[in-house]
Amino acid sequence: MEFLKTKVARRTLLGMATAAMLAPTAFATAAYAETKLVLSSWLPPRHPIVVNAIKPWAKEVKKVTDGRVSVRVLAKPAGAPPAHFDMAADGVVDITYGLHSFTKDNRFQRSRIGQFSFLGDDAVSGSKAFWDVYANDLDAQAEHKGTKVLGLFVHGPGVFHNNVRKLNTPADIEGLKIRVPGGYIADLASDLGASPLFMPSGEVYETLSRGIIDGVTFTYEALTAFKLLDHVKYSMRVPGGIYNTTWFLVMNEGKWGEISAEDQAAIMAISGDAFAERVGKAWNGADEKAIERINKAGIEIYDASPEMVAAIKEKAAAYETEWAKAVAEDGFDGAAALDKFRKSTGVEN
């Protein structure tokens, strides 16, 4: 009987010791459980923005949070490009990016500040200015309901490409069927006499190659990214860009709330202004390489004539005034915001 008591006591002590040894491990596992996030990416996997901005940022999230937060970039998008903001807001995926102009409603009205003509010739200064002005002066977060805004950015200066003729005067634009990304440039193109057609980037090759459209409003890099070099003859550039597009990088609000304050701060340190610079450099580099290929392809890149620039300025001024009045109804000084934006990018209008 004494032997059994001793044996039981030994087993009890052994069990207590084992539990004591495992307890810290279990606590550590719970304390440092990894938050795994999913990012839906709809640009081509080899697109320079995916390769040089989105994926490096996702990788760095894990590094700056010491592995507590990770981001998996999907090889294929979880939905159509225009649906990506709502996908994040509704929790279909955790993180998305996209164009504000893809939404047909007016929920991102103040984002239009980054879409106007004559805003900048450089994607870095443009993206940093857009983040600064939209986030800090125009309360971007309030327009992105259901999400946490991680990044705001623009691409390089928008260019007017077509395969019909050089556009020396506004009359040369009349009747051209031009793909637009929506937003401001859709209105401007229409006012200049074109027939604007909205479609996501991935649909442009088929419509342009088949002659359904005559041209596109795109960056330089888009001509190479979407394999359009054989279907464009002329590229008209405007000082500061004839237009731009504004983009968001957002996370589902609820998922953001599950991340510790320490890790939130670490993530924001590589997002916001830092991400604007990262993505801007990626776009600048892509544009530079694309221009080399465009020249080799025999596409004529030319400066808009003074007459064309004057016509664009006249139309653009009306849209800027209209926009400033609209945002003033919500208590924002649109004119001052635009002035600050252009001073940041060094553009005089």
Range name among 8-22, 51-65, 236-250, 286-300 with the lowest pLDDT average: 8-22
Output the CATH code of domain 34-155+245-286: 3.40.190.170
- Each residue of 54-82: pLDDT tens digit? 999 999 999 999 999 999 999 999 999 99
pLDDT for 33 equals 66
Spatial separation of the C-alpha atoms in residues 269 and 135, rounded to whole Å? 15
How many other C-beta atoms can be found within 10 angstroms of the C-beta atom of residue 13?
10
pLDDT for 250 equals 99
**What would the DSSP string read from start to end of 190-213?**
HHTT-EEEE--GGGHHHHHHTTS-
Spatial separation of the C-alpha atoms in residues 8 and 61, rounded to whole Å? 51
Question: 206-232 as b/e, with b when 16 or more CB fall inside 10 Å?
Answer: ebbeeeebbbbbbbbbbbbbbebeebb
Determine phi and psi for 98, rounding to 5 degrees: 170, -175
Spatial separation of the C-alpha atoms in residues 43 and 204, rounded to whole Å? 13
Look at residue 218 and give its three-state secondary structure.
strand
pLDDT for 23 equals 44
Spatial separation of the C-alpha atoms in residues 172 and 192, rounded to whole Å? 9
Q: What angle do CA 348, 101, 331 make, to 5 degrees?
A: 65
pLDDT for 27 equals 39
- Each residue of 170-212: pLDDT tens digit? 999 999 999 998 889 999 999 999 999 998 888 999 999 999 9
- Each residue of 115-125: pLDDT tens digit? 999 999 999 99
Spatial separation of the C-alpha atoms in residues 261 and 64, rounded to whole Å? 13
Domain 159-243+293-345 falls under CATH 3.40.190.170 = yes
Q: Classify residue 299 by burial, with Cβ atoms within 10 Å: 0-12, 13-18, 19+.
A: buried
pLDDT for 1 equals 44
Determine phi and psi for 30, rounding to 5 degrees: -70, -40
Amino acid at 42: W
Same fold yes or no, 34-155+245-286 and 159-243+293-345: yes
pLDDT surpassing 60 at residue 20: no
> How much is the average pLDDT of 287-295?
97
The residue ranges of every structural domain in the chain are 34-155+245-286, 159-243+293-345
- Each residue of 233-285: pLDDT tens digit? 999 999 999 999 999 999 999 999 999 999 999 999 999 999 999 999 999 99
Return the biggest CA–CA distance within the chain. Answer: 109
